[in-house]
Amino acid sequence: MSELVRHPSPIKGPQGLAWDGESMWVTSAANGRLYALDTDTWNVRREFVPPHESLGVTYTGSDFRLILAPAIEETDLERDRRYVYSFAPEAGFSKCFPCPDFSGSFLAYANGTLFLSQAWDKKLIELSAAGAPVREVQLERRPVGMTIVDGAFYLATVNEDWGDGRLERLGVDASASSIETVRSFPFKPRSVAYNGERFWTADRNNDAIVSFTLRR
């Protein structure tokens, strides 16, 4: 396990991360937009404005899936109805289906299956092609980011107070009781991505994107 390497983010409030083989795609909690970043120069390659604020994002191998949420006030939670959208740079954004109970923040994709996390309810949900829940995994901590590598979830999690950031590993088909902590974070992480060599997470509150390696 390597040290954490911090990279100043060229966008404010980096939140969702996804790697497509060429660029790191990042959603912004500051303005809700989606960006493609060059991880050699940390310059913005492209910028997109979704129809709503973007949260989690994942790459499917051909396009992206994002969770989009309306901009709301804390006192207007009834309007917090979140949807999964597809996105391709040349085709734009297209609504797919509502999140289960209109709730969800981050996504992961592997072998044709999309997974969604619900931080408040501490759940991972496997979705059908139509967006229906197929299987739920109840966790002890709040999932605030995930990716799938070699048949396992790598989850960014926090405690009840949204602190004590950790990276946890759980087999995609395993029960929650087999989850293991593989490292801690000295900040509140958001999202997890993997580019084939390094894992990445976002330090949203300090405008940084953080990379590290693991022995798997």
Instruction: Assess contact for 68 and 51: CB atoms under 8 A.
Output: yes
CATH number of the domain to which 61 belongs: 2.120.10.30
Instruction: Assess contact for 127 and 136: CB atoms under 8 A.
Output: no
When computed from its CA atoms, the radius of gyration of the chain, rounded to whole angstroms, is 16
Range of the domain at 138: 5-212
What is the C-alpha to C-alpha distance for residues 146 and 50, in angstroms, rounded to an integer?
22
> Which pLDDT belongs to residue 80?
81
Instruction: Assess contact for 5 and 12: CB atoms under 8 A.
Output: no
> Which pLDDT belongs to residue 2?
76
Count of structural domains within the chain: 1
Mean pLDDT, contiguous 10-residue spans, the chain (216 residues)? 91 98 97 97 97 97 96 64 96 97 96 97 98 98 98 98 97 95 97 97 98 86
For 66, half-sphere exposure in the C-beta direction (CA atoms, 13 angstrom radius) is 33
Cα torsion 196, 202, 207, 212 to 10°: value is -50
